[in-house]
A = this chain, B = another copy of it.
């Protein structure tokens, strides 16, 4: 498989380079911030047209905006039919030529119809909107990767016959009763970064005759129900909808007036799941990096989104026919969003890769042919692709991890380069400049500046019973056979060994200068940065993004408590747990750091401060930078949604590694304060 992928890479690399021709230019930080996201496409019933949403940072207005495109698939003729603050869930309206879409085009997020000529008209406009987002006073936390937005409609799903609409909408509780909070409710409130208001969500049915009735209501504390919109599944005959509230399945039959508990009635998705249960690929359902799944209207065939995890990190599709013979739809790069006609003869997908800017492709199901329709990122097509190669590494225990090697633009064999290892769970895959993976680390600009970038995934737990048991215990609510020390070894320390092995291998091959290696990662990656920087002596600078998990005081966040007991055995002040904290928790090991550590954060947690303080107390160079929200009462989100914050944080990382790995400064007056701070730390550091 590795060979095949390598060939595919060469192919992928060749295409855009020739397309770009003489215009080819180098990567900039602005290119990373403005890389488009296309997560929603919808093909018309006849397969002739498609609607899709492009979400992209607008540097002028300093916010992310959405554009709704209508494209003729035969000609590639493409036009924008609406622009707005936010759009999602573009879908075909069953049994019609129209589409539906959730969009904020000036009245908050509402449900609209789009006709075949691109005309946009309201389906449901609820004027009682509520603000959702990471801002003080919003209705409870939800959709945390976006700017605060007003929602009139939260989610929707048409019945297969197109006659009935299931949708949900939210309300703030009219006057939150200010009751004293006791014990666990105090910890819960303490664990909430912003004080958001409780509310409720209504689930409603609108019938063809215009009747619009409330079927159910849940408080916003029922997060699965609220965030998945009740996870509605229509029966194939359109006479009932099954939904999940308070963790229970309920069925509402259209001829009835009250919901009943779910029985064994046949629902399309259940059909689908049972028909596909014997397929060896991992189902992509629920993984946003993977296309969805489709069953043909006659029920004889399915196209299923899958993720190739083992040694080829990307999303793709397989076709399952009545005899359960599976067949992959082969293509370069990855497929990240698709839609298919009801007959399942043809579809459209977004294709992209580490070096492939997103493009819309036609997918023929019968012939498995994938053909490009148009580019979705024309300005990024102008960039000369970098050299990127997939890699698989092994740690001393034999666990294998996938990833990519990004070469410096001016790479010359035989010369050693400084290197930066970038890691975030399993997100190093065939997507284009994805913030999911690279966050505020300018991988492509690192390469332009002469760094080797080593993009490394976590080892997949499926490959080892021991690793799998440790990962399971990590989030278990009751004690298990895996001890804290074993869990620490499996989930973090063995991965440090893998990172060291990867770097030493590249050094041995003459590619990397082992004295100038840094490490960067956010979230799960920040755990690995902080642990690696306090366990290994190999990395001379680190950048750790919006993490803090493993630092002692996150024990007091309600949603992390159980996992902390699994990892450490108790609180950081409990004598019995102390040895486990000293073994792994970066705050307890700050005096071992071999280099400078930057923490970039989107919210105020003690965890980042305690690690910073411990580093400073040990004479180690350390900086925290908080990237703020739109106002003092709002925060930026875990994946930054404010373009100016991304620009500044990407630049800060570039400067940080240039300074600490290479001793380089740039002369801008605006940076002199930063360099003065860093020089002071460098001069004062303890060795």
Contacts and interface: CB of A to CB of B under 8 A. Distances in A.
B181 A556 contact: no
A608 B183 CA distance: 10
Interface stretch (A297-305, A399-407, A469-477, A618-626): A618-626
Interface centre among A609, A614, A648 (most CB of B within 10 A): A609
A88 B610 CA distance: 42
A556 B609 contact: yes
A137 B185 CA distance: 24
Contacts of A630: 178
Contacts of A623: 182-183
Interface stretch (A68-76, A89-97, A351-359, A569-577): A569-577
Interface string A563-584: 0000000111110000001000
A179 B623 CA distance: 16
Contacts of A606: 190, 553, 556, 606
A526 interface: no
A632 B196 contact: yes
Interface in A171-220: 176, 178-183, 185-187, 189-190, 195-197
A207 to B, nearest CB: 37
A587 interface: yes
Contact of A182 (B196, B625, B629): B625
Contact of A614 (B183, B195, B573): B573
Tell me how many chains of this kind the complex includes: 2
A626 B186 contact: yes
A552 interface: yes
Nearest to A610: B556
A162 interface: no
A587 B552 CA distance: 14
B180 A617 contact: no
Contacts of A183: 612, 623-624, 677
A612 to B, nearest CB: 7
A613 interface: yes
Nearest to A137: B633
Interface residues of A, number: 55
Given A137-B136, A190-B606, A606-B556, A180 B629 contact: no
A627 interface: yes
A645 interface: yes
B613 A556 contact: yes
Interface in A598-612: 601, 604-606, 608-610, 612
Interface centre among A178, A190, A572, A642 (most CB of B within 10 A): A178
A645 to B, nearest CB: 7
A631 interface: yes
Given A136-B136, A556-B606, A632 B573 contact: no
Nearest to A622: B183
A628 interface: yes
Contacts of A432: none
B625 A180 contact: yes
Given A186-B604, A556-B610, A176 B631 contact: yes
Interface string A634-652: 0000000010010011000
B632 A633 contact: no
A588 interface: yes
Contact of A610 (B176, B182, B573): B573
A632 B176 contact: yes
Contacts of A604: 186, 189-190
A186 B613 CA distance: 12
Contacts of A649: 180
Contacts of A190: 604-606, 609
Contacts of A187: 609
B181 A614 contact: no
Contact of A609 (B186, B197, B624): B186
B186 A601 contact: yes
A162 B183 CA distance: 56
A186 B648 CA distance: 17
A4 B131 CA distance: 65
A6 to B, nearest CB: 41
A180 B628 contact: yes
A685 to B, nearest CB: 15
Nearest to A599: B186
A631 B198 CA distance: 12
Contacts of A581: 573
B181 A626 contact: yes
Contacts of A574: 614, 617
Given A572-B573, A574-B617, A614-B573, A181 B609 contact: no
A195 B625 contact: no
Contacts of A605: 190
A596 to B, nearest CB: 13
A614 B571 contact: yes
A648 B609 CA distance: 36
Contacts of A182: 623-626, 677
A580 to B, nearest CB: 13
A632 B139 CA distance: 11
B553 A617 contact: no
Contacts of A632: 136-137, 176, 195-197
30 contacts: A136-B137, A136-B632, A137-B633, A178-B628, A178-B631, A179-B628, A180-B625, A180-B627, A180-B648, A180-B649, A181-B628, A182-B623, A182-B625, A183-B623, A183-B624, A183-B677, A185-B626, A186-B604, A186-B608, A186-B609, A186-B624, A189-B604, A189-B626, A190-B605, A196-B632, A556-B606, A556-B610, A573-B581, A573-B588, A573-B614
Task: Sort A-B residue pairs by CB-CB distance and give the 10 closest, nearest first.
Answer: A181-B626, A178-B628, A195-B632, A190-B604, A136-B136, A186-B626, A186-B624, A136-B633, A180-B625, A556-B609
Given A183-B612, A190-B604, 14 more contacts: A136-B136, A137-B632, A180-B645, A181-B628, A183-B623, A185-B626, A186-B604, A189-B626, A190-B605, A195-B633, A552-B573, A570-B617, A572-B572, A573-B587
